[in-house]
Amino acid sequence: MKITIQLAAIILWLFSSQSTRAQVDDHAVPVNDSIAKARTAKYNNEFDLIDGVTDLIHNKKGKRADDTGVKQYNKVHISGVPAAGYTLQTGFAGLLVANAAFYTRPDANTSTVLTSFTYTVRNQIIVPVQTSIWTKSNKYNIIVDWRYLKFPSYTYGLGGYNSINDGYLIDYSAIRLHQTLLRELAEDMYAGIGYNMDYFYGIEELNPPAGKVTDLQSYGISKNEFASGLTFNFLYDNRKNPINPEKGNFVNVVYRPNLTNFGNTATWRSLVIDLRKYIKFPNNSDNVLAFWSYEWLTVSGKAPYLMLPNTGGDPYSNTGRGYIQGRYRGGNMAYLEGEYRFRITNNGLLGGVVFANAQSFTEQASNSFETVAPGYGAGLRVKLNKFSRTNVAIDYGFGSHGSGGLFVNLGEVF
């Protein structure tokens, strides 16, 4: 679940970074790739928010350069800070955020750990612990996504025919324990197995429409919902920078059978297919055409209501810009989005995007896709870190029937 507006992470990166050494000596790994060196030299000449803050605090003019051009092995970078944020689903929120970044081996990708505590004006509590640990030569990737939620929020019913005026609050708490082990098969290609457990409890409709059977009631409401199952995962990712890709492809397939052997009251199976493609356009520019397809399917059986595919229900809550999280829900979800990212200032500080998307959910009665909900909008990109290419993404999205709002991320939406 997206941690409000991500302003916490922005403030954290700007003001609160410190380094903690491991118990053994650091090792410097030279960057021998001439392309990487040329890219670093190019970014040295750009300007980002950290340059601006450094100028302001230290009264020091000029752009900072990449300090060493090396990986610092066995050096843990730890940061933590309080902050505030906002999303359509949470309203305003206060946060405490901490993260750590390190290399387990000189030839491994960056490993990360992120945790936070969020409390919102809508009495929501969000506590995630998320890790991505890479082993020697990137042979294995260990991914953990654990979350506790106390999350009163809006639901609008099933399918695509409901109105934004049909929304009402449901309250629930949830525990998510997702973990995956991926093994390298070939360059940029991984496969692996995981175990996912989702437990929702204290589920209650707070203000359902009077004199009407809600979709949740007709689907089947209970105080608790439980889902448990192995996951079978395939990943192909040849993007050089997943934070802000300039070109490349991303394919992620997750099949999850929730069998009665794992504690489920009935067997049901889900499949998620996440496809992304990035093209430089024009080829000699820094502008990028990006495409995203996200298919979330209930292959068989009946998923618990809160586990059904829904708007913004992807791991990073980014599908459906233009709509509040949970605006649409159904047994199957088809989603497509395109975005054009372009530079505004020559120094790289400011950029912009225009985007459009479409989402469709199967109807409960026919199990077929009958409606399409379009979304579109534009946004501003402010360069936070020129070396990681991390942007603060500020978008305004519009949907159908008066839906719309502000959407902010640390990093690109996809």
pTM for the model stands at 0.87
How many domains is the chain partitioned into structurally? 1
10 Å Cβ neighbour count for 252? 17
Does 163 map to a domain?
A: no
Q: What is the pLDDT of residue 5?
A: 42
Q: What is the pLDDT of residue 4?
A: 44
Nearest to 278 by CA among 288, 267, 268: 288
Range of the structural domain that residue 280 is part of: 7-147+173-200+225-410
- CATH classification of the domain holding 271: 2.40.160.50
Does 1 map to a domain?
A: no
Nearest to 327 by CA among 176, 184, 160, 141: 160
Q: What is the pLDDT of residue 1?
A: 45
Q: What is the pLDDT of residue 323?
A: 96
| DSSP notation for 77-92 | EEEEEEEEEEETTTEE
Does 183 map to a domain?
A: yes
Whole-angstrom distance, CA of residue 87 vs CA of residue 82: 17
For the segment 292-302, what is each residue's pLDDT rounded down to a tens digit? 999 999 999 99
What integer best gives the mean pLDDT of the chain? 86
- Kindly report which listed range (60-64, 199-203, 207-211, 263-267) carries the lowest average pLDDT score: 60-64
User: Residue 369, exposed/middle/buried by CB under 10 A (0-12, 13-18, 19+)?
Assistant: middle
Would the pLDDT of 12 be above 50? no
Does 165 map to a domain?
A: no
Whether the CB-CB separation of 90 and 19 falls below 8 Å is answered with no
Would the pLDDT of 14 be above 50? no
Does 208 map to a domain?
A: no
For the segment 228-252, what is each residue's pLDDT rounded down to a tens digit? 999 999 999 999 888 899 999 999 9
Q: What does the block give as tokens for 198?
A: 């989702």
For the segment 38-60, what is each residue's pLDDT rounded down to a tens digit? 555 666 778 887 777 777 776 76
Q: How far is CA 382 from the centre of its chain?
A: 18
Whole-angstrom distance, CA of residue 407 vs CA of residue 85: 11
Q: What does the block give as tokens for 55?
A: 């100028």
Could you tell me how many helices (H) and strands (E) the chain has, helices first?
A: 4, 20
